[in-house]
Every structure is written in C-alpha cells, then in structure tokens.
Structure 1
Amino acid sequence: MEGIVSSPPTDGISDLSFSPAADLLAASSFDNQTRIWEVQGNGSTVPKAAIQHDAPSLCCTWSKDGTKLFSGGADKAGKMMDITTGQSSQVAGHDAPISCARFVENVGSPGTMIVTGSWDKTVKYWDLRTPNPAFTLQMPERVYSMDVQQPLMVVATAERHLMIYNLNAPSQVFKQLTSPLKWQTRVVACFPNATGFAIGSIEGRVGIKMAEDKDSALDFSFKCHRDDKNNVHAVNAISFHPTYGTFSTAGGDGTFSFWDKDSKQRLKPFPAVGSSISATAFNRNGTIFAYAASYDWGKGHEHYAQGTPNKIFLHATKDEDVKPKPAKPKR
C-alpha cells in the first residue's frame, strides 16, 4: 500500500503525529491548521477535525491515551483538542513561536502534562488543571526540536546545544552537551527504550548518542541524504519504529530510508518523491509509515515555488524492511 491522504494541507507541512490509541493521523502546517484524518483499513483517509491557529502551525502531538491532540503555533499559542468532544482550547503560551511539544505522564504529580519548547529560549511544563506553567526551564538558545521517551527528554536548540533531562527530576538538567554533528540541528528523536537518542543536522548526517556516559562506546555518526553529485541535504525527520527500535530518516533530497542502529546498517532505501520530505511518523504498531512531501524552507523563501505540492503519503511497512538484521561480518 502506498496511499495518499485526502484533502491535504494547502501549505508546507511542519509535523506529523499518529495517535497511540487509534489510526488517527495529525498534521500541522503553514496554512494555520493542524488537521486530523482517520486512516481506514484499506489505506483510505477521512478528514475528521482541525485545530485553528492565527499563524502557521509548527508541531502536533497526541496524549498517551489518544483522547487529546496538542498543536503549537507561530501565534505563540498551544491549543489542545479533546477528541471525544471536538472542542479546542488554548492551554499553553510563549513569548515566541512554539516549535515542539510532548505529553508526559506522572511528572512531579499524578496525571498528564504537556511540555512545550519555543523560540523564546524556554521549555515550559503545563499542568492541564491550571492556566500557568507548572515550571519553566531556561534554555541556552531557541528550541528547534524536542523528544520524550520517559524518563528521557532531549531538547535541541540553536547553536548545537543539547539539554538532556531525566523526568524523574524534571526541572534539573541531567546533562548539557554540544551536538556531535558540526552543523545546525534539525531534529532529535529518542530511542523507544529511552537509553539514548538520534540527532539529524542540515549537513546530511545523523548522530547516535547514548544518554549515559558508561555507554558512550556505542556513540557514532553516519552520512546520509547525499546524492551522487555530492550535494548534501538536510535530515528533516527521524522516526523510531515503536516495536523494533529501528528508525527512519527523511531529507531535503526527497528520499527516506530505514536503518538499524545496532547493526549499523541501512535496511532499505526508497526512491525520491520529487520534493523534500519535511516530516514523518509511524503509527502505533509500526505497520504504517506516513511521510509529508512538502517544501522544507531549507533554502529560504526565495526558493519556494508557488504550487509546490503538499502531500502526505501512507506507506505500508514490510517486516523485512524494518526488522533488525544481524551485523554484517567484518572482512
């Protein structure tokens, strides 16, 4: 199956997120909306609802039980939709655009909180029962990407800073690092088992980094998303398979690949789709891989062509493409 999502966004797609509880796909986009589709068994999609912002929508994320969808925007507002009622309300705010967000469970107190990262150089925790942030973390620079796999939280900012947190002590920095990659960070994604994370940069390179110093012998980085003319493309998205722990990378060259970090090999490359891939997501059991073909703004607004398509594809994963493989024997 290589399905295509019906009624796609009308402008650049900034983020994709699948519900952990059902085959509902959310996409945030530069047309000021975060939309939801239901993905049916045959791969067709039905538009269900949308969260409206006053400026581009930059990120979206689901609660663990799938009842709530959060959307963060360039309007500095974080909005949450209750899926059972379809009602949306503002639950978070920053002094600059909200670039990323994640739900966390039982951090500091029982219940669900939302963590938001912003270009205002802060990360804020929001207890949904009160209007003000539970606490605010000062970041060294603007927040570009963030991921959580409890208890691990990794925040990536401008100037290649990485802030690592153990959510058992959510307001204390566990470790502050400089990215192992030499160029600007585009994306960070935590391993499903929370022992480390992958980081992608604008120069077609991915770093694999363990959270604990004692495991640092397992750190490495590799090149990807470079074409045969030696052009280097940004790694825009990294998504981990929820059951196998393998991962995807997708880039400005319009290709995506599946990788196994433990055996350090590429499992399966896929051909270019004709425009850059800006966002990716696996569904809850890893049988569907969604990817957005959309301008990624990597070359600035002057290279944006009117009429550039914005499409979301649904790829049915094959086990042999995403399952870990034994390491190749050394010659």
Structure 2
Amino acid sequence: MAGLFSAASSSSNPTQGDLSKDVELKEPPKDSISDIAFSSAAELLAVSSWDSAVRIYEIDATGNSQGKAMYTHEGPVLSVAWSPDGTKIVSGGADKAARMVDLQANPNTPTQVAAHELPIKCVKMFTMNGTPMLATGSWDKTVKYWDLRQQQPVGTLPCQDRIYSMDIRDQLLVVGTADRYLNVVNLNDPLKFYKTMQSPLKWQTRVVSCFIDASGFAVGSIEGRCAIQYVEEKDSASNFSFKCHRQNDTSNRDIAKVYSVNDISFHPIHGTFSTAGSDGTFHFWDKDAKHRLKGYPEVGGTISATDFNRTGNIFAYAVSYDWTKGYAFNTPTYPNKIMLHPVQGDECKPRANPKKR
C-alpha cells in the first residue's frame, strides 16, 4: 500500500510511539466492540459488537474506509474470524450460534453453521487435509469442530471450564478457560489435549495468542501481566512473564493501578507483538530480546480489540468500553471507535541482534 500507510521514519524518541497519523474508521458500531479481524486476502476488516451485528469495512491506501457488508445475530456478537482464503467470515455470539457469510456470494445474508448450549465466545477457521473447518469455543465448556458441509459437529473436546479465549496457528490450537487452564491441542489429533497447564499468571486469563511460527503462545490476564510460553519442554527456558498496562499512583509510589490486558496480536512478518489494555494504551514488544519496542500514549478509552493487517503495515485498535467496571461506567459519552495506526519505520521490527534462545 502507498500513501499514508507507506513506510516512513518513526518518531525521534526511540521508545515513544506517535499517534498523530492514526485514522478513524468511518461509521463504527454504536455499541461496544468485542472483536476485530483483518482478512488474509484483501484490505478488509471485520468487526463484531454488542449491537448484535458484524460489519465488514474496506480500507484504501490513504486510510479511508467504507462499509462493505453487514449482517446480524440474535444477540451480542463476541468473536469474528476469517477463513484462511479470506472469502468467508464467521462469527459467534450470545445467541449460542455461529454464523457465516460468503463475501463472494451473499455477504449480507448469514448462514448458521454451529450451535452450543451456551454463548459462543470464540470462533476460529482452519484447514484440515484440504477441508475448511471451524472451531468454536463456548461457555458450555466445550470446543466443537465443524465441517462446514455438515450440520452436526464432527468432534467435541470437553474442557475444564468456560472458554474465554482461543487461537489457532497452523496445527496449533490454544484454549484459555476460566480457572486459568491453558490447553494446547495438536490439530492433527484434535480430540485430545497435547498439553494442559495452568497459566503462569496468577489471575484470570483474558487472551491467548499464538506465535506466527506456532512454537508457542502469549497469555494476557486481568492483572496487567503477559506471559510467553513455548509448547515444547526443550524451549521452556525461554518462558517468561512481564508486567505491562500498569500505572504508578502519583500520590503513593507503593501503589500501582493494574489494568487488564485485553488483546495480544502478533505482527505477521516480524513475529513481534502488541499488547493492549484497559488503561487505554498499546505497546509493541520483541519477545526474543525481551524488549519493549514502542509504547503509545493513552487513546481516551479502554482498548478492547486489536489486529494487524496481512502485510503488517496497519495496526487496528478498537477504543470501546470493555465492561471491566460494570454497566454503570458504560455512559453515552464513552468513546466507541476503531483507529487505524500506520506501522512506520522500525516500530515493529525486532531489536538488532537479539539474544538467541
């Protein structure tokens, strides 16, 4: 892409990021934004929200955006994902259903493709032996696998508790549940856990996100901490956790305000990653160098969801109420928008000569 989202030099401060060129997405949802996802095939962004709708936006080289399609659920939509080829969108919601649209056929008319006994919190699409597949994670404590040519699930994986977050990269599936359980699944053998552990973080899991090489995953929690976990025991010496999304109390140095890590997104080219939280900030990190690349000022509200586009030159973040303080704080004046941040210069590039693991 040329124009606004072309490469440019970063700010003079090596660790302070610049938000001045961020562009606001036009006509965002009217209610809280639960999830955002870029297509792997085009500059299209899918957005799910608590207003029971999924919206698809097209973004041009200058950062201009326009609505391309929209469809609805019968309740708040909690998750959205693209098929690997970028032609289909699937979403899951509080109506206990997953729905899918084909952008090339009828982008405004969804088809129900999955069902659970309780709300569907997570949806992810993948390919198994050349067949498009859907994985759905629900508060009914199960992951179900769906062959989209059939009405019934082809397999069910019982989990320990409600599913809060789920991610897939290649053959790696990671499921984060209530009570801090983390389940690692090899999709070549999808009906059993390859490994189960409890999170190294002491408080509730908010998000899990797979490395781009599928060798491990990152975990974010409500305590303002992030953990880096490798799948194989031989790499366990590289596991670590760190504090983020915390603010020191100006009146008392011994007190820190702790904020939830709401989302973690990996850069598709460099393998570096972002964290975003309830403190209204996002940061870019290099896990191999154990180094923060950039930190950004507060954006005026909590950040509920993030994603990089397919080339990694756009970072989208949703500024939207995340319900961490209950319904009383969701006021009519609370911001509800999606910003497009042009990734410039070395913002997301790994630190030079990182320590090899």
Give 5+ residue unaligned stretches, structure 1. Answer: none
* Alpha-carbon spacing, 1:192–1:328, altered in 2? closer, same or farther (3 Å): closer
1:95 match: secondary structure? coil
* Seq. identity, %: 54
- Shift, 1:328, TM fit: 7.6
Q: Does 1:122 align with 2:148?
A: no
- Structure 2 distance, partners of 1:220, 1:206, is 9
TM-score computed with the length of structure 1 as normaliser: 0.97
Residues 1:13 and 2:33 aligned together: yes
Distance 1:326 1:266 in 2: 13
Mapped to 1, the partners of 2:271 and 2:151 lie a distance apart of: 36
The superposition leaves residues 208-258 of structure 1 with CA deviations (integer Å, 9 ceiling, x where unpaired) of: 000011110000000000013220000000000001000000000000000
SS in 2 for 1:215: helix
- CA distance in 2: counterparts of 1:55 and 1:10, whole angstroms: 14
Displacement of 1:79 after TM fit? 0.3
- Name the CA distance, whole Å, in 2 between partners of 1:194 and 1:236: 21
8 Å CA contact 2:288–2:354 kept in 1: the answer is no
What residue in structure 1 maps to residue 285 of structure 2?
259
Task: Indicate whether 1:240 and 2:260 are aligned.
Answer: no
> CA separation in 2, counterparts of 1:128 and 1:238?
28
8 Å CA contact 1:121, 1:140 repeated in 2: yes
Report the equivalent of 2:23.
Answer: 3
Give the distance between the partners of 1:115 and 1:125, measured in 2 at CA: 5
Do the aligned residues in 1 keep the contact of 2:300 with 2:335 (CA within 8 Å)?
no
Partner of 2:57: 37
Residues 264 and 327 in structure 1, CA contact (< 8 A), matched pair in contact too: no
TM-score in terms of structure 2 length: 0.90
Match of 1:228 among 248, 264, 270: 248
Does residue 111 (structure 1) correspond to residue 137 (structure 2)? The answer is: no
Q: Which residue in the other structure is 1:97 paired with?
A: 119
Q: Does 1:151 align with 2:157?
A: no
Residue of structure 2 equivalent to 1:281: 307
**Amino acid across the alignment from 2:180:** R
- Corresponding residue for residue 4 of structure 2: none
Q: 1:291 aligns with which of 317, 320, 328?
A: 317
- Distance between the aligned counterparts of 2:35 and 2:153, measured in 1? 24
Indicate the residue corresponding to 2:93 in structure 1: 73
- Please, which of 180, 184, 192 is the counterpart of residue 172 of structure 1? 192
Computed over aligned residues only, the root mean square deviation of the Cα atoms, in angstroms, reads 1.1
Where 1:214 maps in the other structure, the secondary structure is helix
Instruction: State the shift of 1:150 in Å.
Output: 1.4
Asked whether the 8 Å contact 2:53–2:73 carries over to 1, the reply is yes
What are the superposed Cα offsets for residues 117-139 of structure 1, whole Å, 9 maximum, x if unpaired?
Answer: 00010000010000000101101
Deviations 1:47-81 (A, max 9, x none): 01112011100000001111000011101110001
Report the count of equivalent residues.
Answer: 327
- How far apart, in 1, do the equivalents of 2:94 and 2:272 lie? 32
How has the CA–CA distance of structure 1 residues 221 and 38 changed in structure 2, closer, same or farther, with 3 Å as cutoff? same
Shift of the alpha carbon at 1:319?
A: 3.3
Higher relative contact order structure (alpha carbons within 8 Å, sequence separation ≥ 6): 2
The one-letter amino acid paired with 2:340 is: L
Moved over 4 A (4+): none
